[in-house]
A and B are shown apart, each in its own frame.
Chain A
Amino acid sequence: MKQALIVFAKELSDALRDRRTLLRLMVPALLLGPLLLTALSGLIASLEERAERRELMAVGMAHAPTLANYIERQTYTIKAAPPDYEASLRANKLLEPVLVVPEDFEAKLLAGEAPTVEIVSDSANQRAAAGTGALARLLGGFNRERAALNLALRGVSTQLLEPVDVQERDLAGVQARAARLTSIIPMFIIMAVLYGALTAALDSTAGERERGSLEPLLMNPVPHGALVAGKWGAVALMGMAVALLSSLSFVPAQWLLKSDSLQAMFQFGPGEVLAFWLLQIPLAAGLSALLMALAIRSKTFKEAQAGSTLVVTAVSLMPMVTLLNPGGDAPWYLWVPGLAQNTLMLAVLKGEALRWTQVLPGVVVGFALAAVALAYVARSMRAAVAR
């Protein structure tokens, strides 16, 4: 035990002295998440702003005084669209749909010939496409009003037109959109664990072999188990340290959020940081051991890096499973390293209380993985130098 502590202390100070590598992994771990969150909040804010602005872009509105009158009564302002609106829409420069009114609109309307208006948008231009629904609803309102007036003139009840009264009730609204965006945060925390552990794991296994320092190390009167345990402790702690910094980085990030509703939704305080951090313990334990087990068989750092790519990719794609499986959270999620942490962190973000039955599977799997992988490393160490 004491020997494991000595190894632990040495590996830790060794890893911390590698300033350049540490700084390099700090950039993705600490900056990327908050930056992305801020950028997304900017997008949401602009969507909200447009919804509040009640503006409409049109071509040839002068030909349709009746329609213009209706639209203005709905408290919308009408703006003239730029002449090259089609090209601008394609080039993502114009971010709203355009209403095109034909010259003979008013005449046809009076003659009861149903003039055609166009809502021009580009479905590849997402923000413009998002505005078409509101525009279509506005025109639908105009249609209904005209129809009702025509029928009323002929003494027919307008209720005949709408045998069913449909009303929408949106339960989620803007706040749900906010929740969908904050769900990227757990992914960054998981990546941080991985980044923190990766270099230390490779350096303490494949790195030792490459430097030729593993052989003399094994000729010290120390059981392999103690060596491996000490190294693993240091690697896991590095992962945990970067994870802590990463989750702390979201605290100042929330002050930068541009959207008020997102800011109201996203409460990330010390409690959340602590919960996030504690949830990473089994992941850091399992991943560190797994990375070491993969690396101990490699003769060089480079070879080990290639070998660890699979783990890095698999773990960083874990949160995608929730996106690809829209059937809601399945119980097996809690048994998969990475996915379990993702699910639990999302629950924390939603403000749900965690139950032991939710947390325990991840802990069991994480530490079981660590035990198996470490046993493998201890066994492979001697084989690694005996060739």
Chain B
Amino acid sequence: MIEIRDVHKQFSTPAGGSLFKRAPKRIVQAVQGVSLHAADGRITGLLGANGAGKTTTLRMLGGLFPPDAGHIAVDGITVTRREPAMGRPEPAQPPRGVGGVQGRPGGTLAALARMGILGDAHGLYPRLSARENIVYYGRLQGMTPDAANARAEALAKLLDMGAILDRRADGFSQGERMKTALARALVHDPANIVLDEPTNGLDVLATRALREALRWLRSPEGGGKCIVFSTHIMQEVEQLCDEVVVVSKGRSVAHGSVPALLEQAGEARFEDAFVKLAFPEEVAA
């Protein structure tokens, strides 16, 4: 279960400036009030246009930087990146694994152990094979080499990537890279799965395969995972999501199932409903 409550984040970026004049900093409000509640056994979509704040929200969920305001929790564990002192991993950390999770400062690590995240950036190590890429993350998640290996095989079956499992990632196609990155994110069999625009650059077949895999992961036999994924593609949301959160200009402006949103907007087509909900001023104009 993933709970995001009214998070805010602003960045300061340098503006133009010139060679002799230092550019003044400009404040960019990336996220200003996104909320999301994703339950187990459901697929929750984060739908928004480019630059709406989806990726920033998911990166905060991944603990890359803390929100300026708001609260993020995974299975009740607060995500706050309190970086332990350099070189000294928390002194008395109990062995990670089943039941070894606790919510206390440094809880980000515990929260991260419960999530499989396929982020915006998902580079592989080109000199390692797909299997080695996957096993490396499994080991970092605290799995034994054997367990990680077995899991890599199982995921290869699920994602239909057996043929590339022992090839170096160097020459992978976009789809093969995406599959490997997804398998890498899922290696520790996390209860919560977070995907940031996973279908970017995938062809129809690969997209369908991914959709099937996500449906299976949501089902009770697949583990009844809590799946959050962000996208700007209506079709995907319509076909896959049990729950949709519409994000626009850094705010979550509507949420509910696809039929509920259609009803709320009073439209028959989901695309029209999205535009009406996300950009009401443009529809009015």
Contact = CB atoms under 8 A, between A and B. Distances in A.
Given A378-B87, A379-B86, A382-B65, A6 B139 contact: yes
Contacts of A212: 121-123
A225 B121 contact: no
B127 A14 contact: yes
Interface stretch (B88-96, B240-248, B251-259, B263-271): B88-96
Contacts of B132: 10
Interface string B127-141: 110001000110111
B65 A224 contact: no
A211 interface: yes
Contacts of B113: 221
Interface in A335-387: 371, 374-375, 378-379, 382, 385-387
Interface residues of B, number: 44
Contacts of B142: 221
Contacts of A110: none
17 contacts: A1-B89, A6-B136, A6-B139, A14-B127, A216-B117, A216-B184, A219-B115, A221-B113, A222-B109, A223-B89, A223-B109, A225-B89, A375-B87, A378-B83, A379-B83, A385-B64, A386-B65
Contact of B136 (A10, A223, A229): A10
Contacts of A374: 86-87
Interface string B223-258: 000000000000000000000000000000000000
Contact of B87 (A222, A225, A387): A225
Interface in A1-40: 1, 3, 6-7, 10, 13-14, 17-18
A371 B108 CA distance: 25
Given A225-B84, A229-B87, A215 B121 contact: yes
A224 B127 contact: no
A263 B120 CA distance: 61
B125 interface: yes
A304 to B, nearest CB: 16
B11 interface: yes
A213 interface: yes
Given A225-B87, A226-B89, 14 more contacts: A3-B140, A6-B136, A10-B125, A10-B132, A17-B127, A211-B124, A215-B121, A216-B121, A220-B141, A221-B108, A225-B89, A379-B86, A385-B121, A386-B64
A228 interface: yes
A17 B125 CA distance: 11
A213 B123 contact: yes
Contacts of A14: 125, 127-128
A215 B85 contact: no
A19 to B, nearest CB: 9
B62 interface: yes
A193 B244 CA distance: 55
Given A212-B122, A219-B112, A228 B185 contact: no
A218 interface: yes
Nearest to B61: A219
A225 B128 contact: no
A375 B140 contact: no
Contact of B64 (A1, A3, A13, A382): A382
Counting from the closest, the 8 A-B pairs by CB-CB distance are A212-B123, A212-B121, A213-B123, A211-B123, A223-B89, A221-B112, A225-B87, A221-B109
A382 B81 contact: yes
Interface in B113-168: 113, 115, 117-128, 132, 136-137, 139-142
B110 interface: yes
A386 B55 CA distance: 11
Given A212-B122, A219-B63, A387-B11, A225 B184 contact: no
Contact of B119 (A1, A215, A375, A387): A215
A3 B136 CA distance: 10
Contacts of B84: 223, 225
Contacts of A217: 140
A222 to B, nearest CB: 5
Given A3-B140, A7-B140, A216 B87 contact: no
Contacts of B124: 211, 213
B87 A3 contact: no
Nearest to A4: B89
A219 B64 contact: yes
Contact of B125 (A213, A219, A220, A223): A213
